[in-house]
Amino acid sequence: MKPLPKRVALGALAAGLLAVGGYAWLDGRASAPPSAPPYLATDTVAAREAIADPLLSELLADDYGDAEELEYYDRDAARQALLAEQPRATGKRAVAVAYLLAALDEDYARNRDIVLAALEARLNDPTDDDDAIEYAIALCRRGDQAFRRPLLAAAMRCVDEAAARLSAFYAELITSDMDGFLDALSGFKAPEQQRIAALMAETLVVAPEDQVSDEAFDDLFKRLEERAKRGKPGLRAAAKHCLAALERELSEEGTAIPSQLARAAE
């Protein structure tokens, strides 16, 4: 087999999650005694939340749901607060509530479907924020395969930061479940497979050693070659697109399909 090109040793291409929070403006009263608590203004959403329910003000800061915050609070208390909030939540706040409840395995199918619908709405409106994409990726990482196909389909409708998030997710998915990734990829048309594979390769080729070692990368490349030579036609084609994308990222020329792929196609 033709020796693999030297792997590019660059930093990981990772899309940073947006950290958002609400701030309460404190307005001390000059006439109040020194021991009196400061006055909390209520002219901002965050300030009103902090008064009404301090727990929700942390879990839903700026109407964004961060499942990692759930680890710092009593899960039953968080569940009850979110369930109480769900009937009155609207817009992006409603999606954030549904996502956090799904992360708590509360009425999972219903809340998962809310996130799925929000993901589809986001893909139809590129001007919207990427919260739904982040929620979908997080639930897919938890093992919900219902998100795999829509997240792969998102490659055709996302650019810039959203595409970078998907790129990191695709690289993670192919390294953790190659066969699952190829199976999902095979359900798309060739141009779509090429776009998804290209995003995957952008992150995988530059992933740092502590995320994907050189040995693991070489092993993944070899397994893709094996799947490009045998198995179901759809999986073979998907593997070839992934190999071609990786070769383009690894090669300075970045144009020709490597010879080993030409032999595999025979």
Asked if residue 15 is part of any domain, the answer here is no
pLDDT at 144: 95
**pLDDT by residue (tens digit) across 161-172?**
999 999 999 999
The last residue of one of the domains, among 115, 143, 171, is 143
- Given pLDDT bands bounded at 50, 70 and 90, which one contains residue 223? very high
The last residue of one of the domains, among 143, 167, 188, is 143
Q: Within this chain, do residues 171 and 107 fall inside the same structural domain, yes or no?
A: no
Q: How far apart are CA 124 and CA 160, in angstroms?
A: 16
Q: Within this chain, do residues 162 and 132 fall inside the same structural domain, yes or no?
A: no
Nearest to 89 by CA among 133, 128, 45, 24: 45
Q: What is the mean pLDDT of the chain?
A: 80
Q: Within this chain, do residues 105 and 158 fall inside the same structural domain, yes or no?
A: no
Asked if residue 2 is part of any domain, the answer here is no
pLDDT at 125: 86
The last residue of one of the domains, among 87, 118, 143, is 143
- Count of structural domains within the chain: 2
**Residue 65 · residue 100 · CB < 8 Å:** yes
**pLDDT by residue (tens digit) across 10-31?**
333 333 333 333 333 323 333 3
Q: What is the largest CA-CA distance in the chain?
A: 87
**Residue 26 · residue 56 · CB < 8 Å:** no
Domain residue limits at 151: 145-266
Asked if residue 32 is part of any domain, the answer here is no
**Residue 2 · residue 247 · CB < 8 Å:** no
Torsion of CA 40, 44, 47, 53, to 10 degrees: 140
Q: Within this chain, do residues 131 and 155 fall inside the same structural domain, yes or no?
A: no
What number of other Cβ atoms are within 10 A of residue 264's Cβ? 19
Asked if residue 17 is part of any domain, the answer here is no
| Of 24-38, 48-62, 222-236, minimum mean pLDDT range | 24-38
pLDDT at 67: 93
Which is more confident, 63 or 43? 63
**Residue 235 · residue 193 · CB < 8 Å:** no
Q: Within this chain, do residues 235 and 164 fall inside the same structural domain, yes or no?
A: yes
Asked if residue 208 is part of any domain, the answer here is yes
- Given pLDDT bands bounded at 50, 70 and 90, which one contains residue 231? confident
Q: Within this chain, do residues 217 and 262 fall inside the same structural domain, yes or no?
A: yes
**Residue 44 · residue 61 · CB < 8 Å:** no
Asked if residue 126 is part of any domain, the answer here is yes
Asked if residue 187 is part of any domain, the answer here is yes
Kindly report the pTM of this predicted structure: 0.74
Asked if residue 178 is part of any domain, the answer here is yes
Say if residue 200's pLDDT is above 70.
Answer: yes
- Given pLDDT bands bounded at 50, 70 and 90, which one contains residue 255? very low
Q: Name residue 40's beta-bridge partners.
A: 26
